Structure 1
């Protein structure tokens, strides 16, 4: 196998691409990427692509390769390089033959060394999702391998290990800090319980359980029954163990709306609170305890007094960059409820996508929820990290959105588990998906109704900013 070796330096520029025509043919090339060293030039690190012709024909100059990569911004190759490497959009790059390209024979390889702006500190930042585009617009996924990180200069900056690089010594030191002689107790869990008071005696939680439910807690009882059945318990009128969901006694002063008590005494479990949310939290504690044991479970008699200090306990989920299917989101909501997290910050719009159907503004999802190979983003957005070339690939996290009905279902599902969903429309920054979608809407309507076409336009034709 012959090998050509080339060095760095020429500033890249933006470029347009060919028309899209999806295909599943075998790639005529393979790629290997290698991290060379940090500090190869002021403000730049060096890396390389090795292109191998895996076809039976010479690789002429009628092709382009696209890939995505986090971190690098400006890219440089040398002036006499047989290829150019250009940044099309943030994180999206193109390799194409230059005027000095000569055909690459079958089985031959060529190594292209180039510079990326910044420093390389994490293997996460290697290139992803390369694809090959022929002169007729056909796109084909390219096999990509990453050369081993087995040289010191690959992860050092000015002779020192990069601060975030997880070398063996750093991982060992971090793990040592977690060592403890503490012995896990029966009632230890996350989040930790405020107050646990042991009592004499033990309780056996039988396979057959009966429920006693006071008015106002029917929804919490339904979810508890569902959890019990999933763990293998039977809910019956003649259970040997009784679980009672009831209101606080009148003389009980609640710390806040989520304050509950859980009492286990002689096979009788009482969960009391002042609100349905409090009762729900108590049931989640009980379910957590039961999951630790086989049936029949055995508990020491005990009194638990628990409430949160922080009334906002949230998680942000970004489905704009990587789409999460509805079924998986519902599973996540169940886990949030188990950990008594009560806010889901729903980040469904960003530069990379718009994921929520808005009736009357169809382009938001028709354009803004799909990524793939495109010349002008009139039908889809450019690929981004792990994006790929196929806008119709429903298995890729690049593509997908929630219908109005989907979102209503998510809201209702979360509300039953006392989780508030806060949808976020990011603006004015990180709004590129919406901007491109509304440009497509403008182009669709401008010929029939200019006023309507401009109604939601988010860009200005006179804007020359970069």
Structure 2
């Protein structure tokens, strides 16, 4: 069926996409028959992805191929089948299937298909010269070696798509691209969780980083024993949990008595405007605390004399007496937090409050949450919902990651290409209208994973944050991780060059068109790094900062901190002619490409300083700078893994006088799996799993002591030497949780990954526990056997966790349900002994259900006789949502 050869001709004029597609200089006609054939493939082809082998120690091999290098690798089998007969000469073989493979394909045997790496994670399968077509129902298997491991199903990306296109390097289009329906994500109707019907199970044998990996498989029996061991001291009583404020205050005196508030409260504000506490007041009202002039007096007094002068910002005193509720604070934010503490013990449906006195102050001035909307976009409403919960738990910094390789998410009206091109992904090989497909995004460019915030959206977000006493810190990663903005400005360049306006074209160009450097970023891009030798990137950044600064001013929250990213790409710039000329003649002393990363960061920091903005960035990039060339105050986010030097680097940068925000992946990366189970979403390079208990156990006041508590990523011991201690009196600015969105594809998934871990983050950021061992400023070496973290302190910690877990189970889950937050419902631990099912949970207050083969789900209240096979699952605190079911063997 040779459809195309007669339609190809050379043209020298521009045309619009419609019945024809213009790419480069060739014009190709599209026909209804071609599109119908592609649509048929998209509707009917079945795709199945199966990990055959994960080998963390290398080598992987397939017939006719040499073994892979001795590094982590896997073997994958991709099965393709069609219910219809497909002839070998259909479309003259001019069709391709594109798919995202997050680790690149190292090699594949010769066969009926070839596989190419395009860029980033995008790969292409197309018929080879030996392609024989498909018989009806025939399954064709394509095996390949991957340069990396696949230990979670979340790394298996969806939305393969098919398109008719040329075989040359122009990839000329003959049809519109269509997603292959069998590769779409499905949402489970009862859990709301993603399912991948096209992905095979990852076996236990393939669930190891290496032969040394001791990570257990979190089946029902493992979880049962873990819960049993952790909970051996028992949860606290429900009434005690309901009276407990989270995060834990500095001092609480609870009388054990209650007051009746059924008549409501008479709010009296002194020294503070209602706007400054409005969201907290709205939350109290949503929980049932109504205003009534005849109600109980509720006095909120803000004055500099209310608390001691050395009280940290945000301190407050809350007194609930039999006749009056009073909050004292030195600033409006303290009054706001006092109201949030009152809301913490306010239970919907109850008309009582505990009689108590609270004196409270925050542990750290920086208590943050980072959300990446660059890789996959998340809606404005999602961010607003998270802001509400951050405020409820007294977090005060939202680090919003707006620019990445896969997307630019903020409208700058004077630079429309940033969002018109950089804000969506589709199939446009020339990237004139959108970015290349990545991370299994929908090829339409219109899914919830693509998009951006309009200028007004962003102003609304900043206003909402400000109303909740949260600082919004914007970030566009540079000079690496910048592919989206680079391609957007290249599209702008081409547009103005076509119009004959070279000056405008080059004004904000971020790349050297003649750069022949070959490099690969950590995400396998070959073109994602801004050229630091050009002047236009600094003009561009100045333009963007001015625009964002204006948005913040309009929103009423000045832009005082900007996160530059500061990620670099090894090997970039070496063969750029512009850089070669720059090395030969510049006033900065830069002589080679290795010096450019530090130069870029130092120059951007100087630019920000002229605008009154503090520079923030990730620790690795900032570590390459010369502190003498940096502003006196820099905000550095430490993301080094603890066993790999994460403590020493934190200490080193804090000792410089920089404001250090701890962001360790070992406990603070909320895109990592909750449990070691392939069905739990996320990446795992820094920790195989991070549950809420692990976040709770984080000890920012004594990081080296975590070597006695945490395992390495392979669940083995490690040591933290005391050779680079903090200087006496040096303190962290604070801590921050991170949500990177490579595998986070929906707003519900954002909430699932953040909650309830965010509550433990807030606990550690606000409250210094008595069980945390004091830091040794002389330096001390910790490992699993050092014994410096005493058993008494560990026992005290374990009791504190059980109380904390009780509060989450009895109270916080209920409030999250009321706020429509899609938190993670824990998986059920269960065993069968003598035909009796025994089940437990990490939190009290949730229901458990079990199901025998052929029967309906039944409530579980106590051990019950069953016949295998059996499934178990938990229910949400309120409502009908269910947790992920596990088999019990």
Give the TM bin, normalised by the shorter chain. Answer: 0.7 to 0.9
Q: In 2, Cα distance between the equivalents of 1:165 and 1:414?
A: 40
Correspondence for 1:302: 356
Task: Map residues 273-288 of structure 1 onto 2, 5 A cutoff.
Answer: 273-288=329-344
**Cα deviation, residue 382, structure 1:** 0.9
Correspondence for 2:738: none
Q: In 2, Cα distance between the equivalents of 1:204 and 1:387?
A: 53
Q: Which has the higher contact order (CA 8 A, sep 6+)?
A: 1
Among 461, 466, 478, the alignment partner of 1:415 is 466
Among 259, 276, 286, the alignment partner of 1:230 is 286
Correspondence for 2:394: 340
Correspondence for 1:352: 406
**Cα deviation, residue 269, structure 1:** 0.9
Q: Contact 1:69–1:128 (CA<8 Å) still a contact in 2?
A: no
Q: Cα–Cα, structure 1 residues 362 and 19, in superposed 2: closer, same or farther, change >3 Å?
A: farther
Correspondence for 2:487: 436
Q: In 2, Cα distance between the equivalents of 1:151 and 1:413?
A: 45
Task: Map residues 252-271 of structure 1 onto 2, 5 A cutoff.
Answer: 252-254=307-309, 255-271=311-327
Q: In 2, Cα distance between the equivalents of 1:438 and 1:205?
A: 60
Whether 1:375 aligns to 2:406 is: no
Q: In 1, Cα distance between the equivalents of 2:277 and 2:412?
A: 35
Among 17, 23, 36, the alignment partner of 2:52 is 36
Q: In 1, Cα distance between the equivalents of 2:408 and 2:122?
A: 19
**Cα deviation, residue 106, structure 1:** 2.4
Among 41, 48, 73, the alignment partner of 2:104 is 73
Task: Map residues 167-206 of structure 1 onto 2, 5 A cutoff.
Answer: 171=223, 175=227, 178-179=230-231, 180-183=233-236, 185=240, 186-199=242-255, 201-206=257-262
Q: In 1, Cα distance between the equivalents of 2:247 and 2:257?
A: 26
Moved more, 399-408 or 220-229: 220-229
Correspondence for 1:51: 80
**Cα deviation, residue 129, structure 1:** 1.5
**Cα deviation, residue 327, structure 1:** 1.5
Whether 1:85 aligns to 2:115 is: yes
Correspondence for 1:109: 139
TM-score normalized by structure 2? 0.47
- 3-state SS of 1:121 partner: coil
Q: Contact 2:271–2:303 (CA<8 Å) still a contact in 1?
A: no
Q: In 1, Cα distance between the equivalents of 2:145 and 2:214?
A: 18
**Cα deviation, residue 147, structure 1:** 4.9
Q: In 2, Cα distance between the equivalents of 1:339 and 1:19?
A: 58
Q: Cα–Cα, structure 1 residues 437 and 383, in superposed 2: closer, same or farther, change >3 Å?
A: same
**Cα deviation, residue 201, structure 1:** 4.5
Among 20, 29, 43, the alignment partner of 1:27 is 43
Among 492, 513, 525, the alignment partner of 1:461 is 513
Q: Contact 2:306–2:329 (CA<8 Å) still a contact in 1?
A: no
Q: Contact 2:307–2:316 (CA<8 Å) still a contact in 1?
A: no
Q: In 2, Cα distance between the equivalents of 1:156 and 1:225?
A: 49
**Cα deviation, residue 75, structure 1:** 3.1
Task: Map residues 137-152 of structure 1 onto 2, 5 A cutoff.
Answer: 137-142=175-180, 143-144=182-183, 145-149=197-201, 151-152=203-204
Q: In 2, Cα distance between the equivalents of 1:253 and 1:402?
A: 42
Deviation readout 1:309-336 (Å, 9 max, x if unpaired): 1000011111111111111211111111
- 3-state SS of 2:160 partner: strand
Q: Cα–Cα, structure 1 residues 251 and 461, in superposed 2: closer, same or farther, change >3 Å?
A: closer
- 3-state SS of 1:250 partner: coil
Correspondence for 2:302: 247
Task: Map residues 441-456 of structure 1 onto 2, 5 A cutoff.
Answer: 441-446=492-497, 447-456=499-508
What is the RMSD computed on CA atoms of the aligned residues?
2.7
**Cα deviation, residue 138, structure 1:** 2.6
Correspondence for 1:208: 264
Q: In 1, Cα distance between the equivalents of 2:262 and 2:423?
A: 50
Runs (5+) with no aligned partner, structure 1: 1-15
Deviation readout 1:344-363 (Å, 9 max, x if unpaired): 10100011110111121111
TM-score normalized by structure 1? 0.87
- 3-state SS of 1:426 partner: strand
Q: Contact 1:342–1:420 (CA<8 Å) still a contact in 2?
A: yes
**Cα deviation, residue 337, structure 1:** 0.5
Q: In 1, Cα distance between the equivalents of 2:462 and 2:47?
A: 45
Deviation readout 1:400-429 (Å, 9 max, x if unpaired): 111111111111111111000111121101
**Cα deviation, residue 199, structure 1:** 3.5
- 3-state SS of 2:125 partner: strand
Q: In 1, Cα distance between the equivalents of 2:246 and 2:212?
A: 38
Q: In 1, Cα distance between the equivalents of 2:29 and 2:509?
A: 26
Q: In 2, Cα distance between the equivalents of 1:452 and 1:414?
A: 36
- 3-state SS of 1:349 partner: strand
Q: Contact 2:100–2:158 (CA<8 Å) still a contact in 1?
A: yes
Correspondence for 2:367: 313
Q: How many residues align?
A: 442
Correspondence for 1:6: none
Q: Contact 2:204–2:217 (CA<8 Å) still a contact in 1?
A: no
- 3-state SS of 1:454 partner: helix
**Cα deviation, residue 274, structure 1:** 0.6
- 3-state SS of 2:284 partner: helix
Q: Cα–Cα, structure 1 residues 178 and 20, in superposed 2: closer, same or farther, change >3 Å?
A: farther
Q: Contact 2:327–2:338 (CA<8 Å) still a contact in 1?
A: yes
Q: In 2, Cα distance between the equivalents of 1:315 and 1:412?
A: 17
**Cα deviation, residue 121, structure 1:** 2.4
Q: Contact 2:306–2:328 (CA<8 Å) still a contact in 1?
A: no
Whether 1:427 aligns to 2:427 is: no
**Cα deviation, residue 55, structure 1:** 3.2
Q: In 2, Cα distance between the equivalents of 1:63 and 1:284?
A: 59
Q: In 2, Cα distance between the equivalents of 1:266 and 1:192?
A: 23
Among 96, 109, 113, the alignment partner of 1:64 is 96
Q: In 2, Cα distance between the equivalents of 1:431 and 1:164?
A: 37
Deviation readout 1:50-84 (Å, 9 max, x if unpaired): 100133554643321111132x12331113x1101
Runs (5+) with no aligned partner, structure 2: 1-23, 62-67, 166-173, 184-196, 519-889
